[in-house]
Amino acid sequence: MDDNEKFLRNKYDPEFLREIFNPEVKKVMILETYRGEIVIELFHKDVSLTEDVLTKALVGEYNGITFHNCNPFFVQIRKNFGETEGKRRIIVPYLKNTRGYVGLVNSKKKPENSLLDHFYICLKDIPEFNERYTVIGRVVKGLDVLNKIWDGNTVKNVRIEKDYDKKRGVKFKFNLLFWLGFILSIVSLIIYLSTKINLLKIAQDTLFKKQITDLIPANISLLILGAGIILMLFSIIFAPLARKRVERQAELEAIPEPKERIFPEEKVQPSEGEQESLKKIEQIRINASLMRGKEEARRKAEEEEKRILARKIVMEEEARRKAEEKRREKAEEERRSREEAIKKKLEGTRQSKEQQEKMKKLKALEIKSREIMQKEQEKEEKRKRMHEEQEIKLLAEQKKIEEERRKEEENMMRQEEERRKLKAQKEEKEQQEKMKKLKALEIKSTELFKKEKSERENLRKEFVQKMDTGGNIGEEIKKKGKEEIKADILPKIAKRTETHLDVLFDLLERYGVLKMSYIVQTFNIDKEEALEWCNILVEHDLAELDYPAFGEPTLKKKEQEPAITEK
């Protein structure tokens, strides 16, 4: 029920659901068929099981249910031919199975439960169904539709409404007489006004070429106008009468609401005449029940006599059949005994000849069987020899294959060891070269630092001397600054860039894989500059750039496998 509640809350307004599931509010279930609508008023106040029917109808589980077992007494509607869902049965005594009342069929597996998707509609009063099935409603409109339905017809749609008006299907409609009078009155009014007004006369002459004006004079047009008005009035008076007739027919077709059961303490005491009539009716009913009992006893006695006679006939027939079988068995035994005696006589004469022939045949068969046995033994020995030879060959081939595989594995292991040794030697050489480069760079940096110090001291001495001599110091400083930028600072910048690339290459050698964010953070540079550095390493065939589908690009160490020389 959780899924159904979610579906109802998403599809319908909460106020509508609150009113629909309120037992005090009257509601109807409308079945839309291809023959018309069937409106069923639900007894929610009397039967609590109606809530489950409402939820199934609002969810749409009753759409497409089929009619079956349509007969003059009742019509059944069900979802399929199997029992799907059962609920407890609710019996209300004053809800009888009269004409137009709707109920739920009981489950075959559990008769104390009723099925929620198997309905029946009574077309006549059926007192045998009272207090056996759960009555949930009555047909308010569309009982005549059930007479047009056959087995296999389906229900297109099922919807729930509240406060259904029985008379809303009857609407005021203008009939053919009204429209005929309306057209005649309009045409005659135009013809009459065309004789009085010049503009209408000119328009009519141009449109109809004086044909209507010549045929229909003004007096006749007035008569036609009056006839049209009379027809309109007659149709307006006739339409309400027709509507009342339809309403009266609907009221006659309507099924009365169920009256609540009157308990014994609320019954009204009948009068003396009524009591006498009730006594007479009760006596007639008792006499009728006695007559029925006598008739039933007589019928049972006749049936018992017929059964006894049938049993006697069957027993006699069985005795006759057994006697016939015994007679046949005796005749068969006699025939067999005669045949056996004749056979014994014949066998006594032929026994000697047959024995001699049998001995000869047996000897010949023994000789043949010995020859066959020898041949089979020879064939089996040949087969065994062939099988042993094949097994020896297969074992030799398997040994050769295993030796070849072992040799190949040994060669592979040797090649792998050589590769590993070459890689280790290459790595050692690269590390030694890097250490040499780093030492050379350190020596160069110390020498440059010393040169810079000496140059700065010389410049300082020169500036001090010029200060003493009183020369133009500002111009000299500017010249010296430009010269320093060209000769000293630019090479330092180039040298710093080279050292950063070396550090980046060393990190790549150490870790194998570097993310772009790690390069940006360690060297404090932009992404574009980091990509330029990575592209420089890629161009020199020192690394590889990987752009994954998700995530940032990564710089990978490029592995160069050493060439293996075949011995």
Just give the CATH number of 2-162. Answer: 2.40.100.10
Beta bridge partners, 154, equal 66
- Cα–Cα distance for residue pair 486/480, rounded to 1 Å: 10
Is the Cβ–Cβ distance between 162 and 20 less than 8 Å?
A: yes
- Lookup result for tokens 């005090």: 24
**List of E strands, 400-492:** none
One-letter identity of residue 9: R
- Residue 164's pLDDT is what? 64
What is the pLDDT confidence band of residue 121, given thresholds at 50, 70 and 90? very high
- Cα–Cα distance for residue pair 517/534, rounded to 1 Å: 13
Query: How many C-beta neighbours within 10 Å does residue 204 have?
Result: 20
**pLDDT > 70? residue 75:** yes
What is the pLDDT confidence band of residue 463, given thresholds at 50, 70 and 90? low
- Residue 101's pLDDT is what? 93
- Cα–Cα distance for residue pair 104/323, rounded to 1 Å: 60
- Cα–Cα distance for residue pair 136/40, rounded to 1 Å: 9
What is the pLDDT confidence band of residue 489, given thresholds at 50, 70 and 90? very low
Sign of CA dihedral 178, 184, 187, 190: negative
CATH topology for 487-567 is: Arc Repressor Mutant, subunit A (1.10.10)
**pLDDT > 80? residue 175:** no
* 3 state DSSP class of 84: coil
Report the predicted TM-score, pTM, of the whole model to 2 decimal places.
0.37
Q: Please determine whether the domains at 2-162 and 487-567 fall in the same fold group of CATH.
A: no
Those residues with Cβ within 8 angstroms of residue 260's Cβ, 6 or more apart along the chain or in another chain: 94
Report long-range pairs for 165-171 (Cβ below 8 Å, ≥24 apart): 166/140, 166/141, 166/250, 166/254, 167/247, 167/250, 169/141, 169/250, 170/243, 170/246, 170/247, 170/250
**pLDDT > 80? residue 339:** yes
pLDDT in tens, 346-370: 777 777 777 778 888 888 888 888 8
- Residue 120's pLDDT is what? 92
Sign of CA dihedral 188, 193, 194, 196: positive
Domain residue ranges of the chain, discontinuous segments joined by +: 2-162, 176-253, 487-567
Burial 3-18, CB ≥16 within 10 A → b, else e: eeeeebeeeeeeeebe
What is the pLDDT confidence band of residue 493, given thresholds at 50, 70 and 90? very low
* 3 state DSSP class of 183: helix
Is the Cβ–Cβ distance between 15 and 138 less than 8 Å?
A: no
Is the Cβ–Cβ distance between 151 and 67 less than 8 Å?
A: yes
pLDDT in tens, 54-68: 888 888 888 889 998
- Residue 30's pLDDT is what? 92
